[in-house]
């Protein structure tokens, strides 16, 4: 059995999902969550297990604010270079952290250091309890630390109904881009929701 990979929702939808790779400076993450709350956005945070275990207060806030948490492996290593047993260990260890923090392993798993899951990754994800490997169709490239205006332009230039957007916690430019990015999505008639809401 293998997990399936998805990179977007229905194209006739007016919903989009902003997804965040969950690691980095917790102060920046907290500021970003404040911008999301002000903009009325709900998002999906794919958390690195070691980061989540060190930030229990952020896990609580993410859920309290109406967002959802998912699995982005325990140490954010290059899964494509690992054995099947190592891939499983990375996914399962993060799942345990999520379960301890939230009572659930979460619905979504995103492989680390690869946009697309290999057969090995998909098999081990299913073994760890995940039916889906979550990719994306819009890469904001915010992890390269461009100016905030570039993050906004890149994202709004590619996003459309049903899109799953890749973003990152822990980057100042992403924090600064968030308010105008959410405003730009609203102007296009797009509503920001969690991946679970996007896929319903």
Domain ranges in the chain?
4-198
Give the whole-angstrom CA distance, residue 58 versus residue 79: 26
- pLDDT value, residue 2: 97
pLDDT (tens digit per residue) in 68-103: 999 999 999 999 999 999 999 999 999 999 999 999
Give the whole-angstrom CA distance, residue 138 versus residue 163: 7
Give the whole-angstrom CA distance, residue 191 versus residue 44: 14
Predicted model pTM: 0.97
- pLDDT value, residue 188: 96
CA atoms within 13 A on the CB side of 137: 19
CATH number listed for the domain at residues 4-198: 3.20.20.370
- pLDDT value, residue 185: 98
Average pLDDT for 48-54: 97
- pLDDT value, residue 14: 97
Average pLDDT for 112-121: 97
E-strand ranges in the chain read 4-6, 15-22, 44-47, 68-71, 132-134, 138-139, 164-168, 191-193
pLDDT (tens digit per residue) in 132-171: 999 999 999 999 999 999 999 999 999 999 999 999 999 9
- pLDDT value, residue 113: 96
- pLDDT value, residue 61: 95
């Amino acid at each position: 059995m293998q997990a399936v990979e998805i990179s977007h929702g229905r194209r006739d939808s007016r919903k989009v999902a902003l997804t965040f790779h969950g690691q980095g400076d917790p102060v920046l993450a907290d500021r970003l969550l404040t911008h999301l709350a002000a903009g009325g956005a709900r998002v999906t945070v794919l958390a690195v297990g070691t980061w989540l275990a060190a930030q229990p207060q952020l896990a609580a806030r993410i859920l309290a604010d109406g967002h959802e948490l998912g699995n982005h492996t325990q140490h954010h290593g290059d899964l494509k270079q690992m054995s099947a047993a190592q891939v499983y260990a990375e996914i399962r260890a993060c799942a345990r952290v999520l379960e301890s923090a939230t009572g659930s392993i979460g619905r979504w798993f995103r492989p680390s250091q690869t946009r697309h899951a290999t057969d090995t990754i998909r098999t081990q994800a299913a073994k760890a309890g995940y039916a889906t490997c979550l990719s994306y169709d819009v890469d904001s490239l915010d992890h390269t630390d461009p100016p905030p205006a570039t993050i906004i332009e890149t994202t709004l230039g590619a996003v459309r109904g049903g899109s799953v957007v890749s973003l990152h916690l822990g980057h100042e430019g992403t924090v600064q881009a968030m308010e105008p990015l959410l405003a730009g999505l609203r102007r296009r008639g797009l509503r920001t929701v969690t991946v679970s809401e996007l896929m319903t």
